[in-house]
């Protein structure tokens, strides 16, 4: 069995890549994709921990799997919403570059 720490390293790497994508990308679509990446990094972490600690401690009742499935559901809804917003944004401003969409400031 693969050691838990490798899963956690993979999860952390995916999460940081996602975070970098959210901060560095200018396209709203890519930012949404990066957010998906971060969510999936969390899922990997949860599933790995759950399967390694099955039957012990607080992970006894498949909590990790449950939360992961829940996250996938929410993420699907979130993508739908985000893409709809991006579509409206493109219709109104003819761009999806977030640098040009800075109305939420003084």
Partner 1 sequence: MQWAWLIPVFCFAAAPVIVIFGKFLPTKGAFLSILAIAGGFVVFWFVFGSWLDADAATKGCFTSANTGMLSCDYERSWFNAGVIGAVGSVSLHWGILIDPLTIAMLGLVTFVALMVQIYSMAYMMGDPRFGWYFAVHSLFAASMLTLVLADNFLLLYVAWELVGICSYLLIGFWHERPAAREAAKKAFIVTRIGDVGLLVGILLIWRDVGSFSMLDAFEAVRTGAMSEGVATASAILLFLGAMGKSAQVPFHVWLPDAMEGPTPVSALIHAATMVIAGVYLVARAFPLFEAYDAVPLLIVAIVGLTTALMAATIALVSTDLKRILAYSTISHLGLMMLSLGAFGYTAAIFHLMAHGFSKALLFLGAGSVLHSTEFQETGEMGGLRKVMPLTAIVFSIGALSLGGIPVLAGFWSKDEILVAVNDNRNAAFIILTLFTALLSALYMGRAMFLVFFGELKDQNSHVHDAPLAMAIPMALLGVLALGFGFITFNWPGSFNGLGDFVFFGHAEEFHFEVWLGAVSIVLAVAAFMFAYLAYAKRSISMEATRSRFSGVLKVIENKYYFDEVYQWVVDKVVLVFSRAVAFFDRAIVNDIIVNGPADITRKFGIALRLHVTGHVYTYTLAMALGTVGLGIFVWVRSV
Instruction: Determine, following the binding rule CB under 8 A, whether residue 14 of this chain makes contact with partner 1.
Output: no
Among 10, 19, 69, 71, binds partner 1 (CB under 8 A): 19
Pair 7, 45: CB distance under 8 Å: yes
How many residues of this chain bind partner 1 (CB under 8 A)?
Answer: 13
Element (H, E) at 62: none
Instruction: Determine, following the binding rule CB under 8 A, whether residue 31 of this chain makes contact with partner 1.
Output: yes
Site string for partner 1, 47-86 (x = CB under 8 A): ----------------------------------------
Burial letters 39-62, b for 16+ CB under 10 A, else e:
bbbbbbbbbbbbeeeeeeeebeee
Binding site for partner 1 (CB under 8 A): 19, 22-24, 31, 98-99, 101-106
């Amino acid at each position: 069995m693969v050691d838990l720490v490798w899963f956690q390293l993979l999860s952390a790497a995916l999460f940081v890549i996602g975070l970098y994508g959210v901060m560095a990308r200018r396209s709203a679509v890519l930012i949404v994709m990066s957010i998906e990446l971060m969510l999936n990094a969390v899922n990997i972490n949860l599933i790995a921990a759950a399967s390694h600690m099955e039957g012990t401690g607080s992970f006894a009742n498949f909590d990790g799997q449950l939360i992961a499935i829940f996250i996938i559901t929410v993420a699907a809804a979130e993508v739908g919403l985000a893409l709809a917003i991006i579509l409206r944004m493109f219709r109104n401003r003819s761009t999806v570059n977030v640098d040009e969409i800075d109305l939420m400031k003084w």
